[in-house]
Amino acid sequence: MSDVKTYPIPNNFADAHITKAKYEAMYARSINEPDAFYREQAAQFLSFSKPFDSVCEANLLKGEANWFAGGQLNVSVNCIDRHLPARANQTAFIWEGDDPSVAKHISYAELHEQVCRLANVLRARGVKKGDRVCIYMPMIPEAAYAMLACARVGAIHSVVFGGFSPDALKDRILDSDCKVLITADEGLRGGKAVALKVNADKALASCPNTHTCLVVKRTGGKVAWDDSRDVWYHEAVAGVAAQCEPEPMGAEDPLFILYTSGSTGKPKGVLHTTAGYLLHTAMSFKYTFDYKEGEIYWCTADVGWVTGHSYIVYGPLCNGATSLMFEGVPTYPSAARCWEVVDKHKVNIFYTAPTAIRALMGAGNDFVTKTSRKSLRVLGTVGEPINPEAWEWYYHVVGEGRCPIADTWWQTETGGHMLTPLPGAIATKPGSATLPFFGVQPVLLDGEGKEINGVGEGSLAIKASWPSQIRSVYGDHQRMIDTYFSTFPGYYFTGDGARRDADGYYWITGRVDDVLNVSGHRMGTAEIESALVLHDKVAEAAVVGCPHDIKGQGIYCYVTLMAGTEPSDALKKELVALCTKEIGPIAKPDIIQWAPGLPKTRSGKIMRRILRKIAANEIDSLGDTSTLADPSVVDELIENRANR
């Protein structure tokens, strides 16, 4: 694609942390002398209470990675305590409430006190190193306190996105056997209450091992109460000391579990550990966003996703930065909200998802241009491929052509940025995540698993261990090996396809497996299918992604009903409700098409390729249908599509 535009490195980024020459030298060193490179980076970014013996021992054939072995450190100390001498009064978090008249600043000293108090509450409730704690919270500072308090006592947190249903919450609590749940009475988003405690009560009814439910009073809404289990957060933290001895943690001790969807089965509990994760998120935060002392940084993600873990909490705090946490949604009270918040808090760095950019773009430029946005210096995007049109709008309208855009490609499993343009070092091209971050060795593999050189397209894999690499799938280590390290032996397989251009830039083409990316939320088609077939009138279901202007991908469901069942709009509504109940509102089908039959091979395998084409209305390019057991099924589906 020779007609692709390139935006040069802006002139005013000459004093960036990483310039082009520096990137090239540092990248080469990170690959050629990783030991020396990471020893230096660890010394710069982390404080160990006991020094490590070795930098990295890894074997991708076995999915093994051991970073900073022998070292000890505590993440909460690295993110809070060690900043206190210089930054006790500096703001750690700016919290912007759902209601635009509500905001507060939390200093590093206050953060320290809040985290220590909650850590003491956890210890008093019997939580020890290695125990699991579930966090099901709205976007309020207590969500971050909870994560850091777990890190302080050595408990493994498992944050479950507040939009997940009681069933989804229950499955995650049971899978990792969480002893404690931390939640709130209600969340508040776009002026509407979210019934978190009600959901938690439903989930906990089937979780006998969860002995404590700590409840933050956010709205004061009415909640049911179980005296033997429920504890008000504000009462508990008031009754304990404001200091708390941190647990010394081994470099490879687990820090957190985060559930994410794969192409098959139940969501996997991706496990991250201590030193490597913290180092990679701290380095990438500083370099990707060119974060400078005193700047205000805002990532709009939810702490329920990995972006919130790495780039609202751990990466920024490890750098002693000021991180803005937003409770609400970008369109409330109006589509100007983000830019009003930018002006109100003088935000310098803004990091969001393509789906939000597209939604705001659709609302019209006036919402943007009526604000100043003068403070903005760097823009970022994450979660899905960004279409060049949205990129250009973000660059020209939001950033007024002066803010470089960091299109960061990474995954829950990678912990932090893998491909990303560093603003002072790498010229950008709309839609490309550009070049690898330090220490990351991407490769494109062909169908035989051979590396493709130069320009080409293939499966994106990573050739060498990086510090924040996934360490395990909680409770099922073999599943990690099977999912990520077996498709291409010796490589980590991402599940994404990518193209490399003549400048070595990477262009992510999307998932090559049955994983959907809906508004930047990752979902397995199998999970939605399992929900649909729970309905007693459904015989079979096949779910694929379809193009969607705002969400990137929509959820397109083909449903075969039990013999004798009449299709109806009422039944469609029931199926939509079922997906919401089983998974959450993010799993709401966009389209349900009745399918008298599904296209299957003679061995009974559903040919999703054909279903994807029909969903995308690319009827003319269905490809070979001759291997189908009954090719007439396809004509029927095409006809039903037109009448749906």
Mark the binding-site residues, compressed into ranges: 189-192, 307, 383-385, 407-412, 496, 511, 519, 522, 533, 535, 538
**Residue 429 C-beta: closest distance to ligand WT7, Å:** 13
Cis peptide before 100 (omega within 30 of 0): no
For 555, the token pair is 């959820």
Q: Minimal distance in Å, beta carbon 253 to ligand WT7?
A: 23
Which of 429, 500, 522, 613 touches ligand WT7 by CB under 6 A? 522
Give the residue, chosen from 517, 519, 553, 593, that forms a contact with ligand WT7 under the rule CB under 6 A.
517
Both tokens assigned to 71: 């070292």
Minimum CB distance to ligand WT7, residue 520 (Å): 6
Q: What is the C-alpha separation between 169 and 183, in angstroms, rounded? A: 11
- What the block records as the tokens of 205 is 């009814």
> Which residues inside 236-265 make contact with ligand WT7, applying CB under 6 A?
260
Q: What is the DSSP letter of 436?
A: B
Q: Can you say which residues are annotated as belonging to the binding site for Mg(2+)?
A: 533, 535, 538
Position 409 contacts ligand WT7 (CB under 6 A): yes
- Per CB under 6 A, the list member of 72, 281, 408, 469 interacting with ligand WT7 is 408
Q: Across the chain, how many H-helices and E-strands are there? A: 21, 30
Is residue 411 a contact point for ligand WT7 (CB under 6 A)? yes
Q: Is 410 in the site for ligand WT7 (CB under 6 A)?
A: yes
Residue 358 binds to ligand WT7 (criterion: CB under 6 A) = no
Nearer Cβ to ligand WT7, position 246 or 304?
A: 304
255 contacts 272 by C-beta, under 8 angstroms: yes
Q: Is 282 in the site for ligand WT7 (CB under 6 A)?
A: no
Asked if residue 30 binds ligand WT7 (CB under 6 A), the reply is no
Among 189, 280, 511, 551, binds ligand WT7 (CB under 6 A): 511
What is the C-alpha to C-alpha distance for residues 348 and 328, in angstroms, rounded to an integer? 20
Q: Where does this chain touch ligand WT7 (CB under 6 A) — which range of 97-105, 126-134, 186-194, 301-309?
A: 301-309
Tell me whether residue 517 or residue 560 sits nearer to ligand WT7 (CB atom). Answer: 517
Amino acid at 424: G
Ordered alpha helix ranges (H), 399-514: 477-484
- CA nearest 352: which of 310, 300, 391? 300
Site string for ligand WT7, 304-323 (x = CB under 6 A): -xxx----------------
Minimum CB separation of residue 382 from ligand WT7 in Å reads 5
Question: Does the footprint of ligand WT7 cover residue 302 (CB under 6 A)?
Answer: no
Among 171, 496, 514, 527, binds ligand WT7 (CB under 6 A): 496
Residue whose pair of structure tokens reads 């942390």 in the numeric block: 17
Closest approach of Cβ 173 to ligand WT7, in Å? 20
Among 495, 554, 584, 589, which residue sits at the site for ligand WT7 (rule: CB under 6 A)? Answer: 495
Closest CA to 170 of 193, 137, 136, 142: 136
As given in the structure block, the two tokens for residue 109 are 């000293």
Greatest Cα pair distance in the chain: 74
**Per CB under 6 A, which of residues 424..453 are in contact with ligand WT7?**
433
DSSP-derived 3-state class of residue 189: strand
Q: Residues 390-396: contacts with CB within 8 Å, 24+ apart?
A: 390/354, 390/357, 390/358, 390/361, 391/430, 391/431, 392/430, 393/357, 393/361, 394/357, 394/361, 395/7, 395/430
Residues in the chain: 644
Burial label for 222, CB within 10 Å (0-12, 13-18, 19+), is exposed
Copy the structure tokens of residue 481: 């090996």
* Alpha-helical segments (H) within 432-505: 477-484
String marking each residue 372-391 x if it binds ligand WT7 according to CB under 6 A? ----------xxxx------
The residue ranges that bind ligand WT7 (CB under 6 A) are: 260, 305-307, 382-385, 407-412, 433, 494-496, 508, 511, 517, 522
